[in-house]
Structures are given as structure tokens and as C-alpha cells.
Amino acid sequence: DGGITQSPKYLFRKEGQNVTLSCEQNLNHDAMYWYRQDPGQGLRLIYYSQIVNDFQKGDIAEGYSVSREKKESFPLTVTSAQKNPTAFYLCASRSGQHNEQFFGPGTRLTVL
Amino acid sequence: EDQVTQSPEALRLQEGESSSLNCSYTVSGLRGLFWYRQDPGKGPEFLFTLYSAGEEKEKERLKATLTKKESFLHITAPKPEDSATYLCAVQFMIKAAGNKLTFGGGTRVLVKP
């Protein structure tokens, strides 16, 4: 089955720690995106990548970092510089021929 | 600043009671408008893409329409399984790089049997 997987589903972090969220897709999509969702708010774009080894900041990139070494993978690191990291994180991908983005199941990050 | 506003924030319906959700956006050149359905604790599921005023798309009990300044998602004779949060997202021309989307806050729909 083609799709987007995110792991882990739930993640707990102590203050001051960096954590990495995984996003993998086997749809052969060129573009990948990371969003953050807070209760009662719309999705906000953190980073996106249109091709391997290239990525751009979204609207709320401070305190986050990404890499795109393989077409299938786009991991997101939440660093200790992110002041309010507790949120639901969503990864999405898009083929080069279409505008629609397709989402993974999400990772819920909680800072203890 | 380009914005997307959805209304109402929440909607409670009886099974079979048709209704409409609204998505309005500031006009700075629309490249595309997208509707998603999101169940609690899950990722959004793609429903429709609309590109030009007058366009309509249908899927089962859902119908999406687009005007120059807003889109409606009509739910006809809803069933309890239609309960979800419905998200609207807009791709603005001036933010077209990377096919970035601007999301509204969503409408939570609860359909009671």
C-alpha cells in the first residue's frame, strides 16, 4: 500500500531535549511538508522541501530543523530552542504534477 | 495578509438535517482551494480541489462550491459518520512557491442520530 507513515505516534520529551520525528512516503512524491496543529487553530507550515537536498523555511521555522537526504524521507527535529513544542505534528507530501497535499497520521509531541 | 476564515467554528446537526460550512478568504489571487476532513487524532483526509469561481465537486453527501471570495461545503442528509472537523486550505498566487497552503481554523461537525 502506498502512503505516508509517521513515527512515533506519541512522543514525550523533557525540557531541554532535542527530538526527531520521522516521516516516510512511498508515493514517489517530490515535495514534502511539515505542519504543526494546535487545538482550535489551523495548520501552520514549519518547513517544506521540493527536491532532495533542498528545503525552505515555512511560517514558523524557529526552533525546528529538517533534512532531505532521500526522496522518501523528511525527518523533523524539534530542538530545545522551540519554546512551546507541545502540539500535533503532521507531515504531508505532493506529487510534482498535482497541487493536492496528502497527509500522514501525525505525531503528538508532549513536553513534560 | 492573506487569511482564510471558516465558519461556524462548530455545528451540531441531527441526522438528515442538511447544512453548509463556509470558507472565506482575502482576495489576492486564488490559485486553488482545498477541502479536507479530519477525524480526532488523525491526519487530514483530502476531499476536493476547486480552482475557479462556479466550479462544483461532489462526493457522496458532500458538495463543494466556489465563488470569487468564498467556498461552501454542503452536507446533504448527514449521517453520524460524517462527524469530523472539516478544514479549508487556500493556495494564494503570491505564495505559490512550494505550493504552500494557508489553512483556516476548521469547522467541527457533530451529527447526532
Residue B37: its pLDDT value, please?
98
Residue B93: its pLDDT value, please?
73
Band (B1; pLDDT cuts 50, 70, 90): low
| Chain A partners within 8 Å of B108 (Cβ) | none
DSSP-derived secondary structure for chain B: ---EEEE-SEEEEETT--EEEEEEE--S-EEEEEEEEE-TTS--EEEEEE-STT-EEEETTEEEEE-SSEEEEEE-S--GGG-EEEEEEEEEGGGTGGG--EE---EEEEEE-
Tell me, what amino acid is at B29?
Answer: G
Q: Which of A40, A48, A105 sits opposite B100 (nearest CB)?
A: A48
Residue B112 has pLDDT above 90, yes or no: yes
Residue B94: its pLDDT value, please?
64
Cβ distance of A90 and B44 shorter than 8 Å:
yes
Of A39 and B18, more confident? B18
Q: Is some CB atom of chain B closer than 8 A to the CB atom of A60?
A: no
Residue B111 has pLDDT above 70, yes or no: yes
Cβ distance of A94 and B99 shorter than 8 Å:
yes
CA distance B78 to chain A (A): 23
Residue A15: its pLDDT value, please?
87
Cβ distance of A42 and B105 shorter than 8 Å:
yes
Q: Which of A4, A48, A99 sits opposite B91 (nearest CB)?
A: A99
**Scanning every residue of chain B, which has its alpha carbon at the shortest distance from the alpha carbon of A88?**
B41
pLDDT in tens, B58-91: 999 999 999 988 999 999 999 999 999 999 999 8
What is the residue-level pLDDT of chain A in tens, covering all 112 positions? 669 999 999 999 998 899 999 999 999 999 999 999 998 788 999 999 999 999 999 999 999 999 999 999 999 999 998 989 999 999 999 987 788 999 999 999 999 8
CA–CA gap between residue B54 and residue B76 (Å, rounded): 19
Q: Which of A4, A100, A106 sits opposite B49 (nearest CB)?
A: A100
Per-residue pLDDT averaged across B20-36, rounded?
Answer: 89
